[in-house]
A and B are shown apart, each in its own frame.
Chain A
Amino acid sequence: MDVEAHRKSFLAQLAKAPAVADVKPKAVADYAASSEHDVKALCDMIGALTLDPSSFRASVRTLLDIVGNDSLETAARLAALGQLKAAEFQPAEFAEFHAEFIALLRRLAQSPDRGMRVAAFERLTLTNDVHAQKLLHDGLEIGKPPVSTVKAIQFLARDDHGSAVPLFRRLAKATIGPVREQALRALAADTQSVALFESIANDKAEPTRLRQIAAMNLKNTSPTRFAKVATSLALDDQEDDGLRAVAVSAITHTSEVAAKVKPEFAASLLAVGVATGSRVLKASIDRYAKAVARKKS
């Protein structure tokens, strides 16, 4: 290939690329304030606001005003919130706005607008905001969380130093369906739930998805007990092949677990790999075999 010709050709293509829309913060603010604005057009303008150094401050100020304007359409406010979260990836420039931004989100966590509430909690719980966590936890305790129960659990579970684990334990035992599943996921680091994980992972009557979650939780909390469960699962021809594949994969890629399996496991597993008709299980076993071979060499 003629690299220089390729470069020139590419430059010519670049010259034809559509220009980046030059949307000024004032234009967005004025349009948002106009009573006749079109929501989609406003969202497009918000999305086109640049966050380059020259207009950063003005853009962020405009976005904060839009997000904080309770009379504006939710879609526009969410679009502005997305842009603000993108602006956080420039922390030096965003630093002067951080406190105001967090305060705004905390207010929106109690907004009557459900979409804004969810978005506020989504952002606040990523950094374990205690105010947001309190609202979620209080709400779950009385059965009236500010977002759906599943979402509330998911958001609270982000904090591995949180206080909601007793609540998750209760929900994992007392509920069914998506709430139970989410509560089980939320217990992933709970060493006091090891017995629960083992029980679900071994119980063929439980849905496969729940068993998989329980198995991964067990791996996280007790590699020794997981090694026993996983090896048994992997070698059991009566078990779901997908679950077996997950178990083998976990053994392959977790050295703590691999170190705890019995020496004869490898040979038994390779025999399963030869005999099985399941592509996914065979692929998992192949990866295991390669990992073992790599370790030996």
Chain B
Amino acid sequence: MAPNRRQVGVNPPPPLSTRSPTLPSVNVEIRFPHYDAQSRTYVTWRPVEVMLKLVAPPAGIASVNVEVSAKSLALGGSLLFATTLTHLGAASVVLTLPASGQEVPVWVGGAFPAASASYGDVAVEVRDTGTNQLLGTHDLMVRIRKNGNSLSNAERDRFLSALATLNGAGTGRYSQFRDMHVGGPPDIEAHGGPGFLPWHRVYLLDFERELQAIDPEVTLPYWRFDQAAQKIFNQNFMGVANASNQVQFSAGNPLTGWVGFGLPGVDRSAGVGPTTVPALLTEAQTLNLGALPSARYAGFRAMQGNPHGSAHMSHGGGWITNPTTAPRDPIFFLLHCNVDRLWAKWQWVHQIHDPAKPASFVTGAFLPGHRLPDALWPWCGPLAAPRPTTAPGLGMASSPMTTSPPTSPAIRDMIDYFGTVSGTHHAFAYDDVPFQI
């Protein structure tokens, strides 16, 4: 029996919401579908079904009309509410809660583009419509992947700290992600066909969940490689390379102890600096790939060459410029987060989330691991030669916020990450890609 993947807080009892101060016998319990081990819950733009119920109402009351809305701190996240799964939520919704204590659902999601900066900067509030009395409140976080160049210092530092912990100076769980992305048969699994984008989507999600097991408020930032990124390429974040291909970090940067492979430090040339705009397809040009006469994945996947390959090469030299060595450099994860964001944005712009639709993927005589129903290595375990006969890692990391994708995802499982048709979502989203059914 394989050791279990780390399960972080599988739905412990949720916290009771705050008791009303003036009507102590009436309050509303707010129950989100999932909680982590610290009894916290996180949402993205994709709404989740939240249950409300009256707790211990006074006698004689048949029901209570309530308004459900959000309270946000400055620069915090914001929420939308609806009675069904929709992108057309509103800032508030009115519901009737029966005195019987029967649960009433309400759909709650982040209000695009207002993402949280930290946990608890937004809360659900439930108020009596008649008296405006606060009957219940529930903190949460609208947890979204952001542009690395726009992170606050606090967000950046949390990410770096989690990343350095995962690296563990070379002995942390990071090493399995490095070993998944090496030359030979594994390279073909990741890059050898149209499964390139779904494979990396799983890879990043698995990686992000490992980071969130260290610090649940962290998400993977992306490097928007068609723009200058002054805040990414400086010594406080991803570092600045010197003439000897040594990336320099500030003294307090957790990445000073990074061990990508064997030797400490990061081997990268000075191809991309704080003001560099790499020569590759712009976001608009990328999203137009495969768009005419109608958007199809078959055309879009050409982005594997440009901008993806070009982004790797924009650094000029070092680990990031070869598929075998690229994940040794932490910028790799931000680069690929942007690749995935571009795919997500392409999906949104052209409304292509359904794996049953031909436009969402491509059919043909592709290598195993690159066809729609194929399970993705290494999460599927070892395979028979000539495919990889070992499988670093322990299967897809679980998330306390969702049961999707499965432990051994197939390509088709990675297309509808928002759950627009499947009903289950992957609990990640990008700051500039909204949820839309």
The answer to A–B direct touch (Cβ < 8 A) is yes
Residues of A within 8 A of B435 (CB): 3
Cross-chain contact B317 with A1 (CB below 8 angstroms): no
Q: Complex formed: what's the CA distance from A291 to B401 in Å?
A: 24
Residues of B within 8 A of A106 (CB): none
Cross-chain contact B187 with A188 (CB below 8 angstroms): no
Cross-chain contact A91 with B309 (CB below 8 angstroms): no
**Band of interface residues on A:** 35 or more
Residues of B within 8 A of A157 (CB): 263
Cross-chain contact A90 with B191 (CB below 8 angstroms): yes
User: A91-B192, A185-B246 given as contacts; is B168 within 8 A of A283 (CB)?
Assistant: no
User: A14-B291, A126-B324, A178-B244 given as contacts; is B263 within 8 A of A220 (CB)?
Assistant: yes
Question: Given B246, B285, B322, B367, which contacts A20 in the complex, CB threshold below 8 Å?
Answer: B285
Q: What distance in Å separates the Cβ of B101 from its nearest Cβ neighbour in chain A? A: 34
User: A185-B246, A250-B169 given as contacts; is B308 within 8 A of A89 (CB)?
Assistant: yes
Chain A residue at minimum C-beta to C-beta distance from B298: A53
Q: Complex formed: what's the CA distance from A253 to B166 in Å?
A: 8
Chain B residue at minimum C-beta to C-beta distance from A290: B161
User: A7-B436, A92-B191, A160-B263 given as contacts; is B305 within 8 A of A87 (CB)?
Assistant: yes
Question: Given B161, B306, B325, which contacts A253 in the complex, CB threshold below 8 Å?
Answer: B161
Q: Complex formed: what's the CA distance from A50 to B310 in Å?
A: 11
Residues of A within 8 A of B284 (CB): 13-14, 17
Cross-chain contact B169 with A253 (CB below 8 angstroms): yes
Q: Digit string of A229-254 for contact with B (CB within 8 Å is 1, else 0)?
A: 00000000000011101100110111
Interface of chain A, helix or strand or loop or mixed?
helix
Cross-chain contact A287 with B157 (CB below 8 angstroms): yes
Cross-chain contact A127 with B183 (CB below 8 angstroms): yes
Residues of A within 8 A of B169 (CB): 219-220, 250, 253-254, 256-257
User: A14-B284, A185-B246 given as contacts; is B312 within 8 A of A89 (CB)?
Assistant: yes
Chain B residue at minimum C-beta to C-beta distance from A160: B262
Q: Complex formed: what's the CA distance from A47 to B324 in Å?
A: 23
Cross-chain contact B265 with A88 (CB below 8 angstroms): no
Cross-chain contact B288 with A17 (CB below 8 angstroms): yes
Question: Given A7, A56, A150, A216, which contacts B348 in the complex, CB threshold below 8 Å?
Answer: A7
Residues of A within 8 A of B269 (CB): 122
Count A-B pairs with CB separation below 8 Å.
Answer: 190
A284 at interface (Cβ–Cβ under 8 A)? yes
Residues 339-361 of B at the A interface (beta carbon under 8 Å): 348-349, 351
User: A89-B323, A90-B304, A178-B244 given as contacts; is B263 within 8 A of A188 (CB)?
Assistant: yes
Cross-chain contact B188 with A91 (CB below 8 angstroms): yes
Cross-chain contact A250 with B305 (CB below 8 angstroms): no
Q: Digit string of B252-294 for contact with A (CB within 8 Å is 1, else 0)?
A: 1110110101111101010000000001011011011101000
Cross-chain contact A88 with B322 (CB below 8 angstroms): yes
Cross-chain contact B263 with A17 (CB below 8 angstroms): no
User: A160-B262, A280-B251 given as contacts; is B245 within 8 A of A154 (CB)?
Assistant: yes
A18 at interface (Cβ–Cβ under 8 A)? yes
Q: Digit string of B308-327 for contact with A (CB within 8 Å is 1, else 0)?
A: 11101100110101111100
Cross-chain contact A151 with B244 (CB below 8 angstroms): yes
Residues of A within 8 A of B187 (CB): 91
Cross-chain contact B434 with A92 (CB below 8 angstroms): no
B75 at interface (Cβ–Cβ under 8 A)? no
Q: Complex formed: what's the CA distance from A258 to B309 in Å?
A: 39
Cross-chain contact B161 with A287 (CB below 8 angstroms): yes
A6, A82, A123, A283: most-surrounded residue (chain B CB, <10 A): A82
Q: Complex formed: what's the CA distance from A257 to B168 in Å?
A: 10
Residues of A within 8 A of B165 (CB): 253, 291
User: A3-B434, A219-B169, A241-B251 given as contacts; is B191 within 8 A of A89 (CB)?
Assistant: yes
A88, A178, A246: most-surrounded residue (chain B CB, <10 A): A88
User: A249-B254, A291-B165 given as contacts; is B367 within 8 A of A92 (CB)?
Assistant: yes
A158 at interface (Cβ–Cβ under 8 A)? yes
Residues 148-170 of A at the B interface (beta carbon under 8 Å): 150-151, 154, 157-158, 160
Q: Complex formed: what's the CA distance from A126 to B282 in Å?
A: 28
User: A90-B304, A91-B187, A157-B263 given as contacts; is B244 within 8 A of A182 (CB)?
Assistant: yes
Q: Digit string of A35-76 for contact with B (CB within 8 Å is 1, else 0)?
A: 000000000000100111100100000000000000000000
Cross-chain contact A249 with B193 (CB below 8 angstroms): no
Chain A residue at minimum C-beta to C-beta distance from B434: A3
Cross-chain contact A86 with B312 (CB below 8 angstroms): yes
Chain B residue at minimum C-beta to C-beta distance from A84: B313
Besides the contacts A254-B257, A256-B169, what 6 more A-B pairs have beta carbons closer than 8 Å? A20-B281, A216-B257, A242-B251, A249-B254, A249-B256, A250-B256
Binding site for A on B (CB under 8 A): 87-88, 111-113, 157, 161, 164-165, 167-172, 183, 187-188, 191-193, 244-246, 250-254, 256-257, 259, 261-265, 267, 269, 279, 281-282, 284-285, 287-289, 291, 302, 304-306, 308-310, 312-313, 316-317, 319, 321-325, 348-349, 351, 367, 434-436
11 contacts between A and B (CB under 8 A): A51-B309, A86-B306, A89-B304, A89-B312, A216-B257, A246-B256, A249-B254, A256-B171, A284-B252, A287-B252, A287-B254
Binding site for B on A (CB under 8 A): 1, 3-4, 6-7, 10-11, 13-14, 17-20, 47, 50-53, 56, 82-83, 85-92, 122-123, 126-127, 150-151, 154, 157-158, 160, 178, 182, 185-186, 188-189, 212, 216-217, 219-220, 241-243, 245-246, 249-250, 252-257, 280-281, 283-284, 287, 290-291
